[in-house]
Structure 1
Amino acid sequence: MKKIIGILAIIISTTAFSKNQPVNHSVHKNAGKSQIAKKVSDLKPGQQRQYKVMHERAMDDKKKNKLAIKEIDNQIQKERRNKKPNIKKIKKLNAKKSRLQDDQESSMLKFKLEVKDRFGIKIASSI
């Protein structure tokens, strides 16, 4: 009986203490970004401005594509909820979504290659 009470006390105390310590999951996610930021900071001021303009343009395009894709997803879900979904419409929307996703990938690849060619900075595929 004493062993069971002792084990329960250990389990309760370890779970109570573990809840007070937050886990920082963003440490590894941002590791690649900080390396890129360091490489950009090593560039000349004019090159940094060029990079910033290129980056902002690429991120604006990415944001627009994401919004368009989200809108198409909403249209698809709306059509699927209908009592009689129009399969042809859903197929057209899926095709449009695929084209937008391809465009998004292509534009990000173009940005990464342009950054590599102009500044010698290689950007990983996960960004």
Structure 2
Amino acid sequence: MRTHPLEHDLNADASDILSAIQKGFRTIIDVKGKLAEYFLLKEIQRLKRKGLVAEFVWTDKDGQPDFLVECQGHPLKIECKNIRSRQLFRSPPSYRIELQKTRNSKDGTNTRGSTK
């Protein structure tokens, strides 16, 4: 049977990896966040195949947006967040978009990432 590369990297089988994740509260939260990003990646890839997204990068770096996307000639920075309230879940799945303006601190220094 073919194994996932992570099983090789961690020198453990999938069942042991999942059991270890299950025992770590913070790990479960981290994995949920990474799964949300992964599912968003799949959706962005689908949109690219349909020609609705020109280019994208999954940055996966601290202090950077999760995705850099070019859509209809406009660069977009996307942060993927899990919704905490189950009442916001819908069937079929829905999306929630929040827009934030870049803001500076009271002393005028930039506190919201890159201004490029």
- TM score, norm. by length of structure 1: 0.33
Larger Rg: 1
Which structure would you say has the larger RCO, counting Cα contacts within 8 Å and 6 or more residues apart? 1
Q: Hey, which of these two has a bigger chunk of strand by percent?
A: 2
